[in-house]
């Protein structure tokens, strides 16, 4: 083995000043890159909403309503306790009963598992919009087919049928049964609900 092989580091030709300069530049570049990455991550991240309530506007049944909501407020809470639209019901925590069904931007959703803030800028339709002096055909068909007993599940079913038939106006009985499988009725009036939906498909009970 030669002597130069055993030479201690730094070896001949090593410039300590240049090394330190290079290290500083690399550290500065790393810091800049880290800041840039953090800035990009912040820009891409969703807005963080604090715990405090805020005033927002919701479009419900064609009208704009100002409501004060907390980030945790569900759409169901706002509909029932601020707008007094009590048709949608709080039955199941996870929305599996379908009793809180409302239509948001054309889709049936469980209002008790949907945050009110997520509905800002969207069109919300509740069962109340289907009633009145000239009720929707689905409401009339429910009455005609006697599709309720205690009636607690009925608003959710009416909205679910309306949403389903809007998308499937010529649905068969089998499709209706499948399309309504997100709604439960403890009284067991399923047969009459399906009968009511079929009546609407056939053009009956027009409001």
* Residue 59 beta carbon to ligand FES: minimum distance, rounded to whole angstroms: 29
Among 75, 119, 185, 194, which residue sits at the site for ligand FES (rule: CB under 6 A)? 185
Closer CB to ligand FES, residue 36 or residue 150?
A: 150
Question: How far is Cα 55 from Cα 116, in angstroms, rounded to an integer?
Answer: 11
3-state secondary structure of 59: strand
Question: How far is Cα 113 from Cα 10, in angstroms, rounded to an integer?
Answer: 66
186 touches ligand FES (CB under 6 A): yes
Closer CB to ligand FES, residue 58 or residue 153?
A: 153
3-state secondary structure of 46: coil
**Residue ranges with strand state E in 96-193:** 101-104, 107-110, 123-125
Question: How far is Cα 161 from Cα 175, in angstroms, rounded to an integer?
Answer: 11
* Residue 98 beta carbon to ligand FES: minimum distance, rounded to whole angstroms: 10
* Residue 174 beta carbon to ligand FES: minimum distance, rounded to whole angstroms: 21
Question: How far is Cα 24 from Cα 192, in angstroms, rounded to an integer?
Answer: 79
Question: How far is Cα 168 from Cα 111, in angstroms, rounded to an integer?
Answer: 22
152 touches ligand FES (CB under 6 A): yes
Q: By CB under 6 A, which span of 71-79, 108-116, 126-134, 180-188 interacts with ligand FES?
A: 180-188
* Residue 168 beta carbon to ligand FES: minimum distance, rounded to whole angstroms: 22
Among 151, 167, 172, 202, which residue sits at the site for ligand FES (rule: CB under 6 A)? 151
Contact residues: ligand FES, CB under 6 A: 148-154, 185-187, 189
């Amino acid at each position: 083995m030669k002597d130069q092989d055993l030479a201690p580091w730094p070896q001949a030709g090593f410039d300590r000043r240049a090394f330190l300069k290079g290290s500083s530049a690399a550290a500065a570049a790393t810091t800049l890159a880290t800041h840039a990455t953090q800035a990009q991550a912040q820009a891409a991240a969703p807005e963080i909403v604090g715990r405090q309530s805020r005033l927002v506007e919701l479009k419900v049944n064609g009208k704009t309503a100002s409501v004060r909501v907390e980030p945790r407020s569900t759409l169901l809470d706002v509909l029932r306790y601020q707008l007094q639209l009590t048709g949608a019901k709080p039955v199941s925590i996870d929305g599996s009963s379908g009793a809180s069904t409302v239509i948001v931007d054309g889709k049936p959703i469980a209002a008790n598992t949907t945050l009110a803030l997520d509905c800002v800028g969207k069109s919300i339709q509740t069962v109340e919009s289907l009633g009145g002096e000239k009720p929707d055909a689905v409401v009339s068909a429910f009455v005609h087919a006697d599709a309720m007993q205690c009636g607690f599940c009925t608003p959710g079913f009416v909205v679910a049928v309306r949403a389903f038939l809007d998308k499937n106006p010529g649905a068969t009985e089998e499709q209706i049964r499948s399309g309504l499988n997100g709604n439960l009725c403890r009284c067991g009036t399923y047969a009459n609900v399906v009968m009511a939906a079929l009546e609407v498909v056939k053009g009956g009970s027009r409001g």
